[in-house]
């Protein structure tokens, strides 16, 4: 039998943070930056409603959700598009903007899906060097050519946890050719309490040549429901709506996202929880010469340069005790570091206990 020929891609497939360990039933997963406190009780309640008509297609335009987003973030709902995760919005942006040989600039250690979706549509991915694992505005500008169509960046960035300040982000937009779309991925913006930080949404809500990405997978705890959104010029959104899959966000995802947005108290509690434990874990690990980035999002990038253990050894030892963290070698090619997601109280305490036993 013959297999009809398909296209070949020179792409390293995305490897998500592991979620299983052979032979172990009880594990603690701190590898995928999901949120420790789960979803808002309001969201949980609405998706448990037995009367929901799941046999019907959902609203393809996610009208109610877009309205709620526009109310909460004070932006026009005509400039919003919802996706099955922000992931799908990244994919649609690449489909809309890129043709073979176009160039996309991504920071060296940026979130992997930018490069993957850009390559799928045949674009050339150009990497901008980072300085000390931080995005550099001047390195991005150096890489601009006539073929550059998009610059993607996450702020703060996953997996480095570093961020561009408000001043640096404004400088980047100013120095970048106006015909280039700057995509600012605010996936972790809600966690940010750092005074010199402003989200893409805060800075560029009405800029025609900036596109903002947001997700419900992180602080809102809806990772499995797959829902995110993008905000851009109405012309971009109208064009995206032409290529968007017709029913891309499920009814459960839409309803849960709407309820999550309304539950400000839960979000406040989640932010506090994250900050308290990020500080605790950071200073705890420093006692063992494991240092990390300045606290920003719901994860820390751990550096083993000054530790007696290598990242690999530490990873294996944690794994043997049922704790999974994220290797940064897979996909990101960052050596001797690990990414640790801040978990629930009990997960964090268990992590610290295991670390004590491993390192003492």
Q: Is position 223 an interface residue for ligand PLP (rule: CB under 6 A)?
A: yes
Per CB under 6 A, the list member of 158, 254, 307, 328 interacting with ligand PLP is 158
- The residue range among 82-90, 252-260, 301-309, 336-344 that interacts with ligand PLP, by the rule CB under 6 A, is 82-90
Size of the chain in residues: 360
Instruction: Point out which residues pair with 83 in neighbouring strands.
Output: 228
Tell me if residue 33 falls in helix, strand or coil.
coil
How remote is the C-alpha of 294 from its chain's centroid?
18
Relative orientation angle of helices 234-243 and 85-97, to the nearest 10 degrees: 100
Map the footprint of ligand PLP across residues 288-347, applying CB under 6 A: none
Map the footprint of ligand PLP across residues 123-152, applying CB under 6 A: none
Q: Which residue is nearest to ligand PLP (CB)?
A: 85
261: which 2 tokens? Answer: 């947005």
Per CB under 6 A, the list member of 77, 86, 160, 260 interacting with ligand PLP is 86
- The residue range among 51-59, 85-93, 198-206, 342-350 that interacts with ligand PLP, by the rule CB under 6 A, is 85-93
- The residue range among 19-27, 93-101, 215-223, 279-287 that interacts with ligand PLP, by the rule CB under 6 A, is 215-223
Q: How far apart are CA 321 and CA 30, in angstroms?
A: 13
Q: Residue 17 Cβ, how far from ligand PLP at the closest point, in Å?
A: 9
Q: How far apart are CA 137 and CA 105, in angstroms?
A: 12
Q: Is position 87 an interface residue for ligand PLP (rule: CB under 6 A)?
A: yes
Q: How far apart are CA 127 and CA 107, in angstroms?
A: 5
Q: What are phi and psi of 204, to 5 degrees?
A: -125, 20
CB nearer ligand PLP, residue 87 or residue 190: 87
Q: Residue 222 Cβ, how far from ligand PLP at the closest point, in Å?
A: 9
Per CB under 6 A, the list member of 35, 97, 109, 111 interacting with ligand PLP is 111
Q: How far apart are CA 304 and CA 336, in angstroms?
A: 6
Per CB under 6 A, the list member of 92, 105, 184, 187 interacting with ligand PLP is 187
- The residue range among 2-10, 66-74, 79-87, 234-242 that interacts with ligand PLP, by the rule CB under 6 A, is 79-87
Q: How far apart are CA 262 and CA 68, in angstroms?
A: 8
Q: Is position 85 an interface residue for ligand PLP (rule: CB under 6 A)?
A: yes
Count the site residues for ligand PLP by CB under 6 A: 13
Q: How far apart are CA 304 and CA 338, in angstroms?
A: 8
Sign of torsion over alpha carbons 36, 42, 48, 54? negative
237: which 2 tokens? Answer: 């959104």
* Residues in touch with ligand PLP (CB under 6 A): 33, 85-87, 111, 154, 158, 185, 187, 215, 217, 223, 228
């Amino acid at each position: 039998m013959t297999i009809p020929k398909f296209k070949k891609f020179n792409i390293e497939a995305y490897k998500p943070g592991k979620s299983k360990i052979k032979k172990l039933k009880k594990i603690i997963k701190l590898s995928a930056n999901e949120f420790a406190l789960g979803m808002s009780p309001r969201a949980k309640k609405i998706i448990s409603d037995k009367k929901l008509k799941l046999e019907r297609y959902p609203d393809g335009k996610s009208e109610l959700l877009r309205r709620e987003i526009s109310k909460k973030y004070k932006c026009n709902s005509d400039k919003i598009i919802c996706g099955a995760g922000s992931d799908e919005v990244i994919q649609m942006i690449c489909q809309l903007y890129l043709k073979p040989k176009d160039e996309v600039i991504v920071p060296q250690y940026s979130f992997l899906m930018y490069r993957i979706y850009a390559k799928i549509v045949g674009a050339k991915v150009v990497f901008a060097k980072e300085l000390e694992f931080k995005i550099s505005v001047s390195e991005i500008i150096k890489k601009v050519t006539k073929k550059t169509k998009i610059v993607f960046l996450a702020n703060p960035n996953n997996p480095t946890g570093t961020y561009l300040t408000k001043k640096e982000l404004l400088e980047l937009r100013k120095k970048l050719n106006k015909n280039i779309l700057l995509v600012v991925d605010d996936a972790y913006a809600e966690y940010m309490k750092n005074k010199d930080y402003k989200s893409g949404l805060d800075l560029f809500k009405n800029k025609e040549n900036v596109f903002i990405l947001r997700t419900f997978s992180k602080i809102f705890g809806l990772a499995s429901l797959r829902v995110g959104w993008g905000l851009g010029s109405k012309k971009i959104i109208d064009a995206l709506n032409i290529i968007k899959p017709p029913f891309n966000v499920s009814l459960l995802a839409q309803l849960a996202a709407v309820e999550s947005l309304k539950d400000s108290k839960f979000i406040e509690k989640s932010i506090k929880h994250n900050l308290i434990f990020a500080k605790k874990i950071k200073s705890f690990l420093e006692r063992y010469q494991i240092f990390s980035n300045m606290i920003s999002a719901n994860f820390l990038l751990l550096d083993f340069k000054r530790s007696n253990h290598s990242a690999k050894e530490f990873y294996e030892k944690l794994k043997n005790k049922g704790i999974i963290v994220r290797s940064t070698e897979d996909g990101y090619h960052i050596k001797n570091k690990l990414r640790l997601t801040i978990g629930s109280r009990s997960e964090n305490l268990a992590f610290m206990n295991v670390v004590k036993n491993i390192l003492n």
